[in-house]
């Protein structure tokens, strides 16, 4: 599907006439919930509300209200997603301990009619259940008078819900367009793995700018530090790529989780879309996995060194896992640089069974000789100690004076990046769960050996990687 | 020959009790001209003076005086050296042109009785002859009233001569020790090849400090910026490693030619000598040339990349040649670094026939892929132009956003250092004569191919190099 726009002479100065009507229809057809889907969701929500009330009654807990929040409650959910957020709200004065015990007791009562249930934990415990095919979070919270008085992060959600619901009517499709566009660009989702745009942030962008088209057009010219303050009540000083002041809390940046690169990727996508608004931005063709022969061809063509640190994926939720993986990615790169290896790039992939830290190097091998530069000759005590240590010592090739400094050519401890990682990886700072897994077992595999990793998703990741 | 000194506990704090008596005798025996040698030199000097006078008379040039200068005239020459400097001095008011024509005419007349003669050129032309086995410079100069009124650099020499002669009596041996010590350390000679200590500088150091021992002891604690001003009349502001204010000219630094590294090498030698005063400092054992098999062993042991740029030695004097070679050494290193190659070290060797610029690299090969970092995504016009240029272009592997900037992985133009030099060496800035020679022919040879270079002196150079 190719849709023409009017092109100006200067790059980036094209006149964007908005998302073409036929593209709109093609996208909506795929993402807008049907009447039947809406009806079904409404029914399930009512059923869940009734279940919670019944459970509270059965357990003799009074003062409990049920609140449906999230995109399902606001009519901004994408067709095919089956997420429902049920908030079980307690009076503000409820002791924290009671909220947790009674809230979870009610949730567990509801879960008796669910296909599956799992305890989860954010600031408080909550229950995740599969209920008639829907992915439902049952979340106990405090019913506070205003968002500025919240006792727990989740208490904010009902305020977000009210704010959006009061303003989004008639703009739901615009939210759907934007969410799907972000999804297609790989920037949708505020979890710690993605560090992109949250659903709430997407809704606020539509409320602020008025439409999908206007968000896209504005984002083309965003710069880091872009600040949007719908209620004109900001109390935020810090500089982040995007500051979306929470309309319900002047101190909170709704876009705090957004990384600089995801911010930039969105800008980049918007500019490309404006030049050429096509369906592929919403629904990019899935990448096929990289075949063995393609891996070998690309290794041969690039001639860099590919290293993969492979270990068992720790059994923790992604929001716990990914910060640890990103930390490990950084610390392995730092280790390699410390020992003179030049990085091209680093990456993280994590599947159900295995996790891989990918490292691309200028070379995985360095010469045995390493130039070790000492103090200037005239800084006498230091210089003499340095010289005494190295002159004629084992593993020293020779020495000379260069730019007034003693220089010794010494034998490099780790001429191979692989050997360095095998020996020193355990001294890298990585998170608790990753450390546990790595200390059980890990493997460093190099270049063509990567063909041993057969996971479909990893091979898709590799296609983008190399 | 091992001579013990008292060693202190802290490095560099040894008590230096002076050059031991038996070492003194052993050194003097080798470097002090014998009575016969002195007599012979005196005779030759007198003969030359007579020749100059006779020539002037024959040519009808009046007002000419002959002056013997240099170490031969001051009794500070090392046994075995046969250099005599004969200055043919003209009255101050002589026109520059006459000085040159008449001066050279006289010199050529003298040269009629020489074994060999060669025109040379400093600020003025002069004649170098071999006369009864002695290497004699016949130098026309102006007879000015004071060193501050000199019309040419050589006019200063007679003043230096007078200053030293008036003060060196009885300390000649100390000068000889210091000269030989510097020669042994590779820092003797102020020509542009060596950038070390001149004979005059050596004499001034003895005059200032009083003895060889005191120079050595003082130099152990020298720092760059060390300033010696015997006449307390300095008009020098600039910072050089060593400032020896010329006693005959307050604006001139006698040590101006001394490089930082030669300054430091001298300090280093002094400290070693103080710890262990041995004959080898004066007469280091000559290094044997590196054999083919040693070259191969060392290459294998170091595993770095050795590159040699080889070309015909330009037929010019060393003072013209070496600055050009050093310039070329710098510019080839700069070229390699520009194209991402990492240098270990660079060096220059020049023989009668061939000249070699040696380059040691971390690796002579880089991957085909090169990370090309562009502008931040939000600098819209630049970023869009950058992206447009590289996205999907030939020889581009792929692109992504990193730290807010567009990054493209492009094909490296020169993945081999050898190929880079072969293609781009001619665009390096090198001096005129080197450029001429290189443009006629040059060759880049790598690693084991270096065995093809058989020159004895080059092989000696290689032993220090690798």
Closest by Cβ to B302, choosing from A222, A265, A369: A369
* A358 close to B (CB below 8 A): no
Dump strand ranges (E) for B13-144. Answer: 65-69, 83-91, 116-121, 125-131, 134-143
* First-last CA distance in chain A: 28
Burial profile B89-100: b = 16 or more Cβ within 10 angstroms, e = fewer:
bbeeebeeeebb
User: CA-nearest residue of chain A to B306?
Assistant: A367
User: CA-nearest residue of chain B to A404?
Assistant: B261
Residues in chain B closer than 8 A to A398 (CB atoms): 464
| CA–CA gap between residue B164 and residue B244 (Å, rounded) | 14
Q: A141-162 pLDDT, tens per residue?
A: 999 988 888 888 888 999 999 9
Burial class (CB within 10 angstroms; exposed 0-12, middle 13-18, buried 19+) of B17: exposed
Task: Verify whether the Cβ–Cβ distance B268 to A388 is below 8 Å.
Answer: no
* A287 close to B (CB below 8 A): no
| Sequential pLDDT tens for chain A (466 residues) | 333 343 334 444 456 788 899 999 999 999 999 999 999 999 999 999 999 999 999 999 999 999 999 898 898 999 988 899 999 999 999 999 999 999 999 999 999 999 999 998 878 899 999 999 999 999 999 999 888 888 888 889 999 999 999 999 999 999 999 999 999 999 999 999 999 999 999 999 999 999 999 999 999 999 999 999 999 999 998 889 999 999 999 999 999 999 999 999 999 999 999 999 999 999 999 999 999 999 999 999 999 999 999 999 999 989 999 999 999 999 999 999 999 999 999 999 999 999 999 999 999 999 999 999 999 999 999 999 999 999 999 999 999 999 999 999 999 999 999 999 999 999 888 889 999 999 999 999 999 999 999 999 999 999 999 9
Tally C-beta pairs within 8 A across A and B: 130
Q: What are phi and psi of A278, to 5 degrees?
A: -125, 160
DSSP annotation of B197 reads B
The dihedral built from the CA positions of residue A407, A413, A416 and A418, taken in this order, carries a sign that is negative
User: CA-nearest residue of chain B to A223?
Assistant: B378
Smallest CA–CA distance, residue B122 to chain A, in Å, is 29
Between positions 372 and 391 of A, the ones with CB within 8 A of B are 376-378, 380-381, 384-385, 387-388
Percent composition of chain B: helix, strand, coil (DSSP 3-state, to 5): 45, 20, 35
H/E stretch holding B421 reads: helix B417-424
Interface test with chain B among A14, A264, A271, A347, by most B beta carbons within 10 Å: A264
Residues in chain A closer than 8 A to B377 (CB atoms): 264, 267-268
User: CA-nearest residue of chain A to B369?
Assistant: A302
User: CA-nearest residue of chain A to B385?
Assistant: A11
User: CA-nearest residue of chain A to B372?
Assistant: A344
* A284 close to B (CB below 8 A): no
* B362 close to A (CB below 8 A): yes
Q: How many CA atoms lie within 13 A of A170 on its CB side?
A: 4
Closest by Cβ to B384, choosing from A12, A223, A403: A12
* B413 close to A (CB below 8 A): no
Contact indicator for A44, A86 with CB cutoff of 8 Å: no
Residues across chain B: 466
DSSP letters spanning A155-174: GGHHHHHHHHHHHHTT-HHH
The pTM of this model reads 0.88
* B396 close to A (CB below 8 A): no
Task: Count the neighbouring beta carbons within 10 Å of the beta carbon of residue A328.
Answer: 24
Beta-sheet pairing, B443-446 with B405-411: unpaired
| CA–CA gap between residue A310 and residue A350 (Å, rounded) | 10
SS3 B27: helix
Q: B138-189 pLDDT, tens per residue?
A: 999 999 988 888 888 888 999 999 999 999 999 999 999 999 999 999 999 9
Residues across chain A: 466
| CA–CA gap between residue B237 and residue A272 (Å, rounded) | 61
Distance of CA A68 to the CA centre of its chain: 26
Closest by Cβ to B377, choosing from A264, A345, A367: A264
Q: Which two tokens stand for residue B68?
A: 């013997």
Contact indicator for A349, A328 with CB cutoff of 8 Å: no
Residues in chain A closer than 8 A to B345 (CB atoms): 371, 400, 402
Q: Which of B358, B360, B359, B352 is nearest to B457 (CA)?
A: B352
* B62 close to A (CB below 8 A): no
User: CA-nearest residue of chain B to A398?
Assistant: B466
* B345 close to A (CB below 8 A): yes
Closest by Cβ to A261, choosing from B221, B345, B404: B404
% of chain B with per-residue pLDDT over 70: 97
Residues in chain B closer than 8 A to A462 (CB atoms): none
Q: Which of A235, A173, A216, A218 is nearest to A24 (CA)?
A: A173
Q: Which two tokens stand for residue B374?
A: 């562009």
Closest by Cβ to A303, choosing from B368, B371, B381: B368
* A397 close to B (CB below 8 A): yes
Closest by Cβ to A301, choosing from B261, B366, B368: B368
- Alpha helices for A65-118 (secondary structure H): 70-74, 96-111
Interface test with chain B among A272, A300, A362, by most B beta carbons within 10 Å: A362
Between positions 252 and 281 of A, the ones with CB within 8 A of B are 260-261, 263-265, 267-268, 271
What does R_g of chain A's alpha carbons equal in angstroms?
Answer: 28
Largest Cα separation within chain A, whole Å, is 86
Smallest CA–CA distance, residue B182 to chain A, in Å, is 16
* A9 close to B (CB below 8 A): no
Contact indicator for B179, B188 with CB cutoff of 8 Å: yes
pLDDT beneath 70: ranges in chain B: 1-15
Q: Which of A350, A303, A310 is nearest to A451 (CA)?
A: A310
Report pLDDT for A59: 94
Smallest CA–CA distance, residue B163 to chain A, in Å, is 31
| CA–CA gap between residue A307 and residue A453 (Å, rounded) | 12
Task: Verify whether the Cβ–Cβ distance A222 to B378 is below 8 Å.
Answer: yes
Task: Verify whether the Cβ–Cβ distance A366 to B363 is below 8 Å.
Answer: yes
Q: Which two tokens stand for residue A84?
A: 């429902």
Task: Count the neighbouring beta carbons within 10 Å of the beta carbon of residue A34.
Answer: 10
Task: Verify whether the Cβ–Cβ distance A220 to B380 is below 8 Å.
Answer: yes
Residues in chain B closer than 8 A to A400 (CB atoms): 345
């Amino acid at each position: 599907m190719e849709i023409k726009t009017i092109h100006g002479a200067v790059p980036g100065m094209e006149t964007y006439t908005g998302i073409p009507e036929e593209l709109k229809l093609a996208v909506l057809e795929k993402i807008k919930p049907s009447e039947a889907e809406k009806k079904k969701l409404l029914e399930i929500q009512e059923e869940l509300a009734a279940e919670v009330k019944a459970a509270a009654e059965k357990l003799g807990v009074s003062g409990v209200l049920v609140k449906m929040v999230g995109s399902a409650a606001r009519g901004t959910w994408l067709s095919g997603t089956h997420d429902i957020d049920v908030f079980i709200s307690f009076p503000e004065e409820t002791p924290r301990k009671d909220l947790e015990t009674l809230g979870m007791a009610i949730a567990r009562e509801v879960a008796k009619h669910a296909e599956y249930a799992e305890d989860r934990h954010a600031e408080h415990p909550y229950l995740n259940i599969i209920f008639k095919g829907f992915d439902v979070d049952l979340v106990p919270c405090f019913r506070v008078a205003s968002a500025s008085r919240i006792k727990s992060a989740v208490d904010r959600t009902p305020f977000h819900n009210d704010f959006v619901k009061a303003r989004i009517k008639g703009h739901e499709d615009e939210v759907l367009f934007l969410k799907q566009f972000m999804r297609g660009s790989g920037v949708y989702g505020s979890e710690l793995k993605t560090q992109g745009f949250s659903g709430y942030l997407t809704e606020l962008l539509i409320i602020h700018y008025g439409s999908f088209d206007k968000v896209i057009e504005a984002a083309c010219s965003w710069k880091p530090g872009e600040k949007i303050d719908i209620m004109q009540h900001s109390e935020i000083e810090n500089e982040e790529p995007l500051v979306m002041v929470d309309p319900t809390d002047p101190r909170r940046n709704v876009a705090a989780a957004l990384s600089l690169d995801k911010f930039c990727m969105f800008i980049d996508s918007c500019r490309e879309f404006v030049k050429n608004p096509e369906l592929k931005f919403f629904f990019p063709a899935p990448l096929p996995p990289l075949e063995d022969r393609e891996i070998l061809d690309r290794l041969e063509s690039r001639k860099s060194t590919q290293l993969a640190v492979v270990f068992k994926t720790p059994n923790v939720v992604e929001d716990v896992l990914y910060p640890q993986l990103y930390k490990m990615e950084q610390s392995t790169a730092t280790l390699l640089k410390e020992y003179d290896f030049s990085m091209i790039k680093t990456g993280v992939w994590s599947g159900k069974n295995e996790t891989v830290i990918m490292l691309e190097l200028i070379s995985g091998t360095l010469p045995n000789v390493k130039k070790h530069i000492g103090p200037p000759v005239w800084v006498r005590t230091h210089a003499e100690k340095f010289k005494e240590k190295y002159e004629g010592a084992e593993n020293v090739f020779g020495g000379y004076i260069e730019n007034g400094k003693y220089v010794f050519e010494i034998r490099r401890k780790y001429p191979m990046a692989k050997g360095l990682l095998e020996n020193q990886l355990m001294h890298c700072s990585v998170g608790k769960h990753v450390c546990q897994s790595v200390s059980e077992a890990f493997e460093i595999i190099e270049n063509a050996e990567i063909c041993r990793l057969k996971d479909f998703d990893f091979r898709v990741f590799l296609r983008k990687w190399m």
